[in-house]
Structure 1
Amino acid sequence: MNYALGIVEVVGFAAAMQAADTAVKAANVTLLGYEPSKGSGMVTVRFIGNVGAVNAAVDSAAEAANRVSSVYSKLVIPKPAEEIDALLKAKKAEGVD
């Protein structure tokens, strides 16, 4: 894969929306969607782009979401393996057509 994958896991839907909004405004990334976890209140926001853009987006998103709620984790995977791409497509994230 010739892109980087960014993931920000937050507590609460409002924090997830803040993270997603901030990420796409901070850098040239494509929002893949969000995925709520079952029962814990955590929501994962995922996006892709070039490594520099994804790094900037993840940092900005985590900082913004932390002002709304809590950030559980954040991650940037440069050039994810093809198997990761299959995982991303296995369950369509919510919020994106």
Structure 2
Amino acid sequence: MRQALGIIETSGLTAALVAADTAVKAANVTLLGYELTKGRGMVTVRFTGDVGAVTAALEAAVKAASAVKGVHAFHLIPKPHEELDKYLLTPKKDAVD
């Protein structure tokens, strides 16, 4: 993957789904999936695209998810190192306590 990466961590699945839906509607990005983190009900959503699209999608997703329950963290990586591919391109994983 040589495109930008957008990451948003929300409090709860509902906010994560709202963030994911908003992101793909706001800009030309590809949803990579989500991951339930261990404990505290955090969910991480990942998407990719060109830097401008990911920036727009991330801004819209943060705003929408904040209105639902909350955003814990978010970040844009303009050009992720190729070593991250093996972690980012895996299917959805549900963490188990």
Shared fold, TM over 0.5:
yes
Equivalent AA in structure 2 for residue 64 of structure 1: A
Q: Which residue of 2 aligns with 1:57?
A: 57
Aligned to 2:31: 31
Q: CA offsets per residue over residues 51-84 of structure 1, 9 Å max, x none?
A: 0000000110010000001100001001100011
Instruction: Give the letter for the 1:83 counterpart.
Output: E
Instruction: Name the SS for the 1:76 alignment partner.
Output: strand
Shift in Å at residue 37 of structure 1? 0.8
Name structure 2 gaps, 5 residues minimum.
Answer: none
Counterpart of 2:55, as a letter, is N
- Give the letter for the 2:92 counterpart: A
Identity across matched positions, percent? 59
Deviations 1:15-70 (A, max 9, x none): 00000000000000000111011221000000000000000001100100000011
Counterpart-to-counterpart distance in 1, 2:13 and 2:33: 12
Work out the number of aligned pairs and report it. Answer: 93
User: Aligned partners of 2:24 and 2:52: how far apart in 1?
Assistant: 13
TM-score between both structures, scaled by the size of structure 1 = 0.90
Compute the RMSD of aligned alpha carbons: 1.1
Q: Which runs of 5+ in 1 are unaligned?
A: none
